[in-house]
Structure formats: structure tokens, C-alpha cells
């Protein structure tokens, strides 16, 4: 995770453009940001190295891939030590059904976003994948009926 990094208005414009289209070519990115392609390439490399740009992803539709059921699992664990937590996190993230894992404050310790092919698949995941772990003391399942993605971190339009 990056500490706060100084970015100028050109950097912000490059980031805004990339967040809205990470497949944009460097030439098009440079033109839209008003800089030379070599300058743009250097700036993007600097922003990556500083940890501001943390990756480029492809988003897949779980429904199209046979996983129409989505749920959150609110998980409580009994003991909290680094070794146990690290093992738990690694085991959760190793499961392909897991879309996101959050360590949270409150009555539960973890919130896990999962997808499943059907109710039986979700039940198997909960029973065989989570409740069998010695450190897990409870699992509460919340089905997702509908979801919306949040907006971009930076405004979609340039502020110039």
C-alpha cells in the first residue's frame, strides 16, 4: 500500500483517464493528457513504482461463468494471532469462489464475498470450506440479491 504521493494535475489527468479505460494506448493517453508519449510513459511508470497504480484487471461476469449466486459470509474466529490469521487468510484466498476478503471491526472478524453455482454449492463452501476450520467459531451467510459498483475514485470528467 502506498503512502500519500505527490501528484500534479497532469498525473491526476493520467490517472483519471486510466481508471476509466485501462486499455487506452499510451499514444491516446498522452494526447488526452496533453503530454508527449515518452513523458506519459515515464509518468505512468513513476506512478506504478510509487504504488499509486497497483494493477490492471479484467472483470469477469460470474453469472456468465456459471456462478449466479453471490453471498457475503460474516465470519468470526476464536483466537487472533498472526500465524493463525495468516493461515486463515491464505486458505480463504486460495478458494476460487472467493471474490473479496475484508478484515473488519465489529461482531465479526471477516467479511468474505463469494460466488456459487447454486445453493448446494454455497452450502458446501460454507460447511466444508469454513466451518470445518478450527479457528472459525461462526459463519453468517447473507445472500446478495442485487449489487452496484461504486463510481470512479477520481471524477470522470477533467477538472480543467
What the chain holds in terms of domains, given with CATH numbers, is 9-49 (1.10.10.10), 69-143 (3.30.70.920)
3-class DSSP state of 93:
helix
Q: What is the pLDDT of residues 22-74, one digit of tens each?
A: 999 999 999 999 999 999 999 999 999 999 999 988 888 999 999 999 999 99
- Is 76 within 8 Å of 107 (Cβ atoms)? yes
Interval 139-160 mean pLDDT: 84
SS (H, E, C) 15-84: HHHHHHCCCCCHHHHHHHHCCCHHHHHHHHHHHHHCCCCCCCCCCCCCCCCCCCEEEEEEEEECCCCHHH
Amino acid at each position: 500500500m502506498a503512502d500519500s504521493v505527490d501528484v500534479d494535475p497532469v498525473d491526476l489527468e493520467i490517472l483519471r483517464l486510466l481508471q476509466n479505460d485501462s486499455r487506452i494506448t499510451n499514444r491516446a493517453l498522452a494526447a488526452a493528457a496533453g503530454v508527449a508519449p515518452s513523458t506519459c510513459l515515464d509518468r505512468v511508470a513513476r506512478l506504478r513504482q510509487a504504488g499509486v497504480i497497483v494493477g490492471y484487471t479484467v472483470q469477469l461476469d460470474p453469472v456468465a461463468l456459471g456462478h449466479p449466486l453471490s453471498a457475503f459470509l460474516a465470519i468470526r474466529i476464536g483466537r487472533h494471532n498472526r500465524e493463525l490469521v495468516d493461515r486463515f487468510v491464505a486458505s480463504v484466498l486460495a478458494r476460487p469462489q472467493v471474490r473479496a476478503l475484508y478484515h473488519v471491526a465489529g461482531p465479526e472478524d471477516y467479511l468474505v464475498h463469494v460466488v456459487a453455482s447454486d445453493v448446494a454449492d454455497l452450502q458446501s463452501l460454507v460447511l466444508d470450506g469454513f466451518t470445518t476450520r478450527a479457528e472459525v467459531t461462526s459463519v453468517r451467510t447473507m445472500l446478495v440479491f442485487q449489487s452496484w459498483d461504486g463510481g470512479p475514485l477520481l471524477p470522470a470528467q477533467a477538472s480543467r
